């Protein structure tokens, strides 16, 4: 009996070490109460505290969708696809699917509303070879572009996991990549989704069509504390897109971060 008990303990420790982190019960209860299938990763800047719900999904790579606009903005500026955040690219007059997209755009206007056509035009100007260079340089997900330079992050070959998203954002925050300081500053500005006297949240959402996965990734600055997060959920309908931000903000509150 003693040998069997010892074996069970060894197996338990081994299984926990494989996943890296145990299931966070607070966040698991939150997901269950909302009937949502997905994952959330929340991690302190130094990595000493990390909370994960659904470790399997947290390590599963999927399309980044519009969360790729974070590195895409830095790449486009570095390559001179536009001069700065204010340079306008003219709308061609064709309906782009959303009223807020149907106008001339700059990075400052296109990023917050996730304007697809604007970033597709930037992608044409940057080119496939440059993207391959930067994806490898940043070790971004599986580093794959596929053949279509205008769709590889939306329905192409590029994949990244929530755990990798958090690791990537930490490097962006620390400015470990050799992008211009002015580009980093612009990115910090356009990523703000909420600002209070107590904290600032910078984030980007995304929604991939196949499979239908909704993202929100970003970080919270509160005093001298910085916490990073990545959430992706199974989302079939546009009416459910609000769950991305709602469940993430509630998880951050549960952990006393905001």
Active site residues: 66
Length of the chain in terms of residues written? 258
Binning the chain into helix, strand and coil, the percentages to the nearest 5 are 45, 20, 35
Place of tokens 């079939």: 236
How does 138-165 read in b/e, with b if 16+ C-beta sit within 10 Å? bebbebebeeebbbbbbebbbbbbbbbb
Query: Residue 159's closest CA among 244, 232, 240, 107?
Result: 232
Half-sphere exposure of 151 (CA within 13 A, CB side): 7
Residue 46 DSSP one-character state: T
CB 38 within 8 A of CB 31: yes
């Amino acid at each position: 009996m003693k040998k069997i008990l010892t074996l069970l303990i060894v197996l338990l420790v081994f299984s926990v070490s494989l996943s890296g982190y145990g299931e966070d019960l607070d966040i698991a209860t939150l997901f269950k109460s909302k009937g949502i299938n997905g994952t959330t990763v929340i991690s302190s800047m130094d990595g000493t505290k990390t909370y994960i719900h659904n470790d399997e999904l947290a390590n599963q790579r999927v399309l980044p969708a519009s969360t790729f606009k974070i590195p895409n903005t830095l790449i486009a500026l570095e390559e001179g696809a536009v001069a700065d955040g204010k340079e306008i690219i003219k709308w061609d007059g064709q309906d782009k699917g959303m009223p807020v997209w149907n106008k001339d755009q700059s990075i400052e206007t296109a990023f917050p509303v996730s304007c697809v056509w604007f970033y597709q035009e930037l992608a044409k100007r940057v080119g496939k070879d440059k993207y391959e260079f930067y994806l490898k340089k940043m070790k971004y997900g599986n580093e794959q572009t596929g053949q279509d330079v205008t769709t590889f992050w939306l329905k192409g070959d590029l994949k990244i996991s929530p755990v990798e998203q958090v690791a990537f954002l930490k490097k962006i925050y620390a400015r470990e990549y050799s992008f211009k300081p002015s580009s980093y500053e612009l990115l910090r500005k356009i990523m703000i989704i909420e600002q209070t006297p107590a904290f600032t949240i910078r984030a980007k959402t995304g929604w991939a069509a196949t499979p239908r996965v909704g993202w929100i990734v970003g970080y919270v600055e509160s005093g001298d504390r910085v916490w990073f997060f990545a959430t992706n959920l199974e989302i079939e309908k546009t009416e459910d897109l609000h769950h991305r931000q709602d469940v993430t903000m509630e998880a951050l509150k549960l952990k006393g971060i905001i």
